[in-house]
Amino acid sequence: MKIAKGSTKIVTIISSIMFVCTIASILICILLPTPIFWHFGILGVVLFCGFFTFWTFRDPLRDVIINPKGIIAPADGSLMNVKKMKEGFSCQILMSPFNVHMNRSPIDGVVKSITFQKGSHWPVYFPNYAKRNQRNIIVIENNELGITAEFTQVSGIYGRRTVAYPKEGDEVKQSELIGIIRFGSIINLKMTGLNNFKLIDPVPKHTRAGLTVLATFDEESD
């Protein structure tokens, strides 16, 4: 299974810790007269942590959608708080620990800015506290369509790092990988300049990055 870009080091560290814990459990079982079920329990926890780590940092192959007349979901998760604005919309995508944690660009464009904000790591289920959490704010502009995507990676109680892959001035393609939130959290997406776009109806309850269309070009409004 392919590991997410920039995550090899942390996966190696966690794998090394797991290996040490496994050897220690075996040695204790041999040297000390402790109940064997203790060691099976420890081994089970170690194996579960290992599986969970690889599952969290996985980067599966995905045949993404390229739709120049659409806005594509930037993350896997539960779609919430979809709000229409005068010239666009905003929404949130709540990522569980079991979702793919890779983030993708909702549009073609140029990365105008990436702003990292230090913060705490409150559970995102408590919105008032989560406003203080660490985050990356990525702004992508598409001058041809006159639209802007403000894409915010918000860390959570488990998501200890927000990682952006591109740099300011880089061109990104729709559905291209642009970052990861380690151990998951929440994505805030704000689209502006959408005078001739409309939201998908009905609005999906769940999204998949690079696959779920959130809004489309409304040709009748030209």
Neighbours of 144 (CB within 10 A): 9
Q: Are 217 and 197 in contact (CB under 8 A)?
A: yes
Integer Rg of the chain from CA: 21
Q: Buried b / exposed e across 87-114, counting CB within 10 Å, b at 16+?
A: ebbebbbbbeeebbbbbbbbbbbebeeb
**What's the CA gap between 138 and 136, in Å, rounded?**
6
- To the query of whether residue 185 is one of the catalytic residues in this protein, the response is yes
User: Length of the chain in residues, anyone?
Assistant: 222
Burial (CB count <10 Å: 0-12, 13-18, 19+), residue 215: buried
Catalytic residue among 25, 78, 185, 221: 185
| Nearest-5° Cα angle at 167, 162 to 170 | 135
| Nearest-5° Cα angle at 197, 194 to 200 | 130
Helix (H) or strand (E) holding 10: helix 8-31
**What's the CA gap between 142 and 146, in Å, rounded?**
6
User: Which of the residues are catalytic?
Assistant: 185
